[in-house]
Amino acid sequence: DAKTTQPPSMDCAEGRAANLPCNHSTISGNEYVYWYRQIHSQGPQYIIHGLKNNETNEMASLIITEDRKSSTLILPHATLRDTAVYYCIVRRTGTASKLTFGTGTRLQVTL
């Protein structure tokens, strides 16, 4: 699976949009981009994933560049409860492909 690069930490004011970047320049055509987050002392939680089109769900939006070498996770209106470590993971299509977690981005949402 392709390697990902994320900034180690980011801050965001509550109510503002949080934009978390991820570089995956070696991604191949059959690899999805997944985002998970881990709130302190909890298990990782799935957020969203995409292949090449932008995706949106009730939690977030995922913007993937046209060349697929980078992506941005957008939390449109961050709240204090969104404070967590966010992991960008590239994963091959197909069931049970392993999730390889990097160090992620620690997002701190502040008042």
Interface ranges with another protein (CB under 8 A): 32, 34, 38, 41-46, 49, 51, 87, 93-96, 98-103
Distance of CA 63 to the CA centre of its chain: 10
Name the DSSP class of 58: S
Q: At its nearest, how many Å lie between another protein and the CB of residue 55?
A: 11
Instruction: State whether residue 111 is helix, strand or coil.
Output: coil
- For residue 58, give every residue at least 6 positions away whose Cβ sits within 8 Å of its Cβ, in sequence order, or none: none
Q: At its nearest, how many Å lie between another protein and the CB of residue 98?
A: 6
Q: Which is nearer to another protein, 25 or 45 (CB)?
A: 45
Decide: 85 and 106 in contact? Cβ < 8 Å: yes
Q: Which is nearer to another protein, 19 or 38 (CB)?
A: 38
Q: At its nearest, how many Å lie between another protein and the CB of residue 16?
A: 27
Dihedral in degrees, nearest 10, Cα atoms 61, 44, 111, 55: 0
Q: Which is nearer to another protein, 78 or 89 (CB)?
A: 89
Q: At its nearest, how many Å lie between another protein and the CB of residue 95?
A: 5
